[in-house]
Chains A and B, each alone.
Chain A
């Protein structure tokens, strides 16, 4: 299958992240999936006229297009004109290039939360009238409209994340190349379920602190980040603490809050990103699928039962109390 990658209202970070694919590296992964790059802005040799000729050939039907990957939000401003981004070398707004190319592609993928939902580019007053390919925030529609289907009969496949993990992109491409990705594999936000049926909380090394509500109070404390420091890991759909980033990393492993960057409208949480809002002492935004009354009951019970080790380590930047060594029980 061939792949065309274009960028618009974004930072290029999903490409930069994609290049971090490890074991094997990116080019080997694409080879293994049988994917050939028609053009990618960071990797291909062709530039200027050569690129425009390729795009025209696709639009004329002279060249088939299997995978259209769009990175960055669709900028509809100012006043619906799309002139906040005209593709270089043309006076044509990028949104019109994308609309026409999407009508030709077998599969259309939104790479990153900007392309999927608008993302950070749609933050604040959304000065560029940014939206996603098929969503405007959480609302279906976006640039291409909710009725859009690519030639293979699928809606835009949303590989969300800010940025995307390299393997989220390559796994999705592999599934498509194997013919294994159908509409049933996508969740209500058109994200591949294999990626979104997980929570960032799963595999978080702070889980023991979470169990006892032993909470970090300041940046660099080792405790759970949910109660005070804004962490949304118990609500965020992603496998960041199972798959891991750049070797051994993740946001919570790096000591800072999960900001739920795979979700529409994560850019406007309604509170400061790094501070958990509370009502009557209870954090707003409970863990996914957790009944409120039980959360309150369990939280107060587990706080009362917190071992001294966790109580102290939670507010320390190093292991102040080591786990005690239990005596062998055998003999």
Chain B
């Protein structure tokens, strides 16, 4: 048995260390360490509740808006604050914008460059991938960075800036869109559609979204040269390397649902909430969430529901190996992310693949791309529904005592905020971020977290220090370590 320590892990958000025990050329067991503690839950203690809207987005520079949405919803829940239709549409739009930007950053900047590495130099597909995706110098790097900046102009118009906007309030948005600004949003989205159709998919978004299953996707891929769109390039590499056999998930998928305004208005996109386990979608019961601290550098006893959670760091705790807590649903680890959202929402291609194979590197990445196409189409319809001149925000009045829960889906998966207010101040504020679920350490039963399970069985070539297959698996989750260790 040999130990391999992987870190610092780049092209993930934040710092990450992975320890692998290797036997017979395969990973026998893995421990995932979040090596940084930040203390937001302690910083929030004693603050005025609305100050959370300034502090919480700064948990994360890449999921900043998602954090704002969760905080605003927790405060709205606390004060029973209503939201006008424009406010809900604006919230959904900035959230979708962030999700889409994150998906594209992940695919082009974080995930694909690994296939351009010299370790694959002998593969027939390598020259094509290297030309396109090589970190910093590939043709896609620059094209993506430009397109991403254009997409995020939507934030400039609708939320002042990104990251770390203060526009998202319990009662809606501080930014009442004016008629000419709405037209500008339509133009921005047209630019992004052009990038997605020309570069990412090599086809109309509607044609991609209309594919009715795995076989239709395969036929679509064959219908044009492999260099027509980055989705086809990915499918070719994935097929050659068998990415669908790499990084199996725990078999339980969770989504708290997203974009509720759109569901109410048109039903066009809104992603359903639920739990996928044992081959079917079930109702999600969040009273069964608890955080286990057994392997975390945290003081505490029995696992607690986040509404009563405790965060007391203890760097000297024996047996602990991560600053990440171990959230569990009914005592079990669950996987979250785009693949969970699309599976639970019944996206036909993902439904075919995940029902048969479960989650893996291939399905996680494909789900993000398919979701990206769905997001842009939905955003176009929401912009048209905005009505300048009608209200965007209701005033917030909060009680001096109470509790609130705020849920949303960040790009990387389910995000929850639980808060308690006493005498007009925050008594407790607990956050469970997507990567806290996916990259959790072991619990009291010694059950590994989802990534720890997914790494088991991954091949490690003799003399290989960077464990390229493990890197694909880690990055397939699109981890955000900044959120994880809030």
On A, residues with C-beta under 8 Å from B are 7-17, 19-22, 25-28, 37, 39-52, 75, 78, 81, 83-90, 94, 120-121, 123-128, 162-163, 218-220, 222, 244-257, 259, 261, 267, 272-275, 317-319
Are A88 and B16 closer than 8 Å at their CB atoms?
A: yes
**Which listed residue, B17, B43, B59, B157, touches A248 by the CB 8 Å rule?**
B157
Are B176 and A13 closer than 8 Å at their CB atoms?
A: no
Are A88 and B33 closer than 8 Å at their CB atoms?
A: yes
B133-141, B233-241, B256-264, B273-281: which one contacts chain A?
Answer: B133-141
Bound-complex Cα distance A254 to B464 (A) = 50
Bound-complex Cα distance A259 to B164 (A) = 11
Bound-complex Cα distance A317 to B315 (A) = 50
What are 16 A-B contacts defined by CB distance under 8 Å?
A7-B14, A11-B62, A12-B60, A25-B149, A47-B9, A49-B466, A50-B466, A84-B38, A88-B17, A247-B156, A247-B188, A251-B160, A254-B165, A256-B174, A317-B176, A317-B391
Residues in chain A near residue B356, CB distance under 8 A: none
- Given A124-B47, A218-B395, check contact A17 B163 (CB 8 Å): yes
Are B11 and A318 closer than 8 Å at their CB atoms?
A: no
Are B61 and A15 closer than 8 Å at their CB atoms?
A: yes
Are A89 and B315 closer than 8 Å at their CB atoms?
A: no
3 shortest A-B CB distances, which residue pairs? A254-B160, A13-B61, A88-B7
Are B157 and A247 closer than 8 Å at their CB atoms?
A: yes
B30-42 vs A: 1/0 string, CB under 8 Å? Answer: 0001011111001
Q: What residue in chain B is nearest A27 (Cβ atoms)?
A: B142
Q: What residue in chain B is nearest A128 (Cβ atoms)?
A: B39
- Expressed in whole angstroms, the minimum distance between the Cβ of A245 and any Cβ of chain B is 4
Q: What residue in chain B is nearest A51 (Cβ atoms)?
A: B8
Total contacts A-B at CB 8 Å:
278
Q: What residue in chain B is nearest A266 (Cβ atoms)?
A: B54
Are B55 and A12 closer than 8 Å at their CB atoms?
A: no
Bound-complex Cα distance A17 to B57 (A) = 14
Bound-complex Cα distance A45 to B130 (A) = 12
Are A273 and B159 closer than 8 Å at their CB atoms?
A: no
Q: Count residues on chain B whose CB falls below 8 Å from chain A CBs.
A: 92
Are B15 and A7 closer than 8 Å at their CB atoms?
A: yes
Question: B13 within 8 Å of A by Cβ?
Answer: yes
- Expressed in whole angstroms, the minimum distance between the Cβ of B414 and any Cβ of chain A is 19
Question: B148 within 8 Å of A by Cβ?
Answer: yes
Q: What residue in chain A is nearest B389 (Cβ atoms)?
A: A318
Residues in chain B near residue A40, CB distance under 8 A: 10
Starting from the known contacts A51-B10, A247-B188, A317-B391, 4 additional A-B residue pairs (CB-CB under 8 Å) come to A245-B160, A254-B159, A255-B174, A256-B160
Are A246 and B155 closer than 8 Å at their CB atoms?
A: yes
Question: B167 within 8 Å of A by Cβ?
Answer: yes
Bound-complex Cα distance A244 to B158 (A) = 13
Residues in chain A near residue B61, CB distance under 8 A: 10-17, 163
Residues in chain B near residue A42, CB distance under 8 A: 10-11, 13, 109-110
Bound-complex Cα distance A84 to B323 (A) = 9
Are A219 and B55 closer than 8 Å at their CB atoms?
A: no
- Expressed in whole angstroms, the minimum distance between the Cβ of A300 and any Cβ of chain B is 27
Q: Give chain B interface residues in 94-125, CB to chain A under 8 Å.
A: 105, 109-110, 113, 116-117
Residues in chain B near residue A267, CB distance under 8 A: 55
